[in-house]
Amino acid sequence: MNGVGVEALRQARRERRALVGFSIYNLEQGLGVIRAAEAVGAPVLLQAGSSAFRYAGREPLAGLALGLAATAAVPAGVHLDHATDLGEIEACLRLGYTSVMFDGSARSLERNIEATREVVRRAHAAGAWVEAELAGIAGDEDESSGRQATATTDPGAAARFVAETGVDALAVAIGNVHGIGDEPVRLDLDLLARIGRAVEIPLVLHGASGLPPAEVSAAIALGVAKLNVNTELRHALREAVLARAADPPAGDGVAALLDPVIGATRSAAEAKIRAFSSPSASTTGSSS
C-alpha cells in the first residue's frame, strides 16, 4: 500500500494545508473518494471506523478500504476513527491500517494518558501513527446532529497529554461538532491558537462538514493538519439515491443504479481536497 505516513501529516502542518479523512460506509463512497484524490493528485485518508463497522462489518469494510488504498494512484491511508477498544485497534493494525484514532475522552486525564500511551506503543510497533483526543466532541458521527459543543480542549492538559503519550496527532474540541446542526458552528480560533502554541504535533478537526471555508482555512493556518468529513458524503449519497429513485434507468444494471452515488461522492470529496489538501490549499482555501 502506498499509504499516508505521519511525516505527510507533519508536512501538511508545515505547509499550512490539511489532509482530509473521509468516513466511508460502502464501496461506492470509497471509489468516489479515491477518484477525487486521484483527480487532484493529493493524498487522502479513507476512514473505515468503529461506527461504520456496525453497518458493514469490520473485516468486510476494512478489506474494501485497504484494497482501494493499495490500488490508488495517489498515497492513500486507511484510518480507524474513534476507536475506544484496544482489541479493535489491535485487529485493525493486524489487517494493515496505516493509522488509528484512540478516543479516551470519556476517561480521566490520567487514565486517558495511560491507555493512549499503550496504543501508541502498539501502533508504532506496527508502523502506524496515532491520533487521540482529550475533550469529547459533541454530536453523532453517523447522523446529522443538532447538538452544540460543550467540552473544549485545555492547552495545558494538551501539552501534558502529548508529552506523556508520544501521540502523533491531537483532535481538538474548539466549538466543532460531529454532523451539521441546527445552528451555525463557530470555531474558537483563539483557543486553537493557544493549543497550537502548546503542542507542536499536527492537530485534527473533527466535524469539518458544513463549516465555512474561511474558518477552516484559519484553523489550518493555526496548526490543523487533518480534517474529518462524513456528513457531506452522506448527504451526497442520499441525494444521489433519491434522484435515481425518482428517475430510474431502464433495466436493472448495477452500474446504472449506483454510478450516481460514486459521482456525487467524488464531487463532494474533490471540493474538500482542492480547497484544503492540495499544495496550493494555503492560498486558495479561503475563497473556495
Which grid coordinates are listed for 152?
473544549
Residues 282 and 16: beta-carbon distance below 8 Å: yes
Buried-state track 181-203, b at ≥16 Cβ within 10 A, e below 16:
beeebebbbebbbbbbebbebbb
Adjacent-strand bridge partners of 205: 172, 227
Which grid coordinates are listed for 59?
473485516
Q: Which of 4, 82, 68 is nearest to 33 (CA)?
A: 68
CA distances 107 to 16, 51, 102, 110, 135, Å, are: 32, 19, 12, 8, 10
* 81: annotated active-site residue: yes
Catalytic residue among 81, 142, 168, 188: 81
CA distances 277 to 245, 251, 268, 270, 288, Å, are: 34, 40, 14, 10, 12
Residues 43 and 19: beta-carbon distance below 8 Å: yes
Residues 148 and 138: beta-carbon distance below 8 Å: yes
Residues 79 and 109: beta-carbon distance below 8 Å: no
* Distance separating alpha carbons of residues 196 and 98, to the nearest angstrom: 25
Q: Which of 47, 41, 64, 33 is nearest to 267 (CA)?
A: 33
- Which positions are annotated as active-site residues? 81
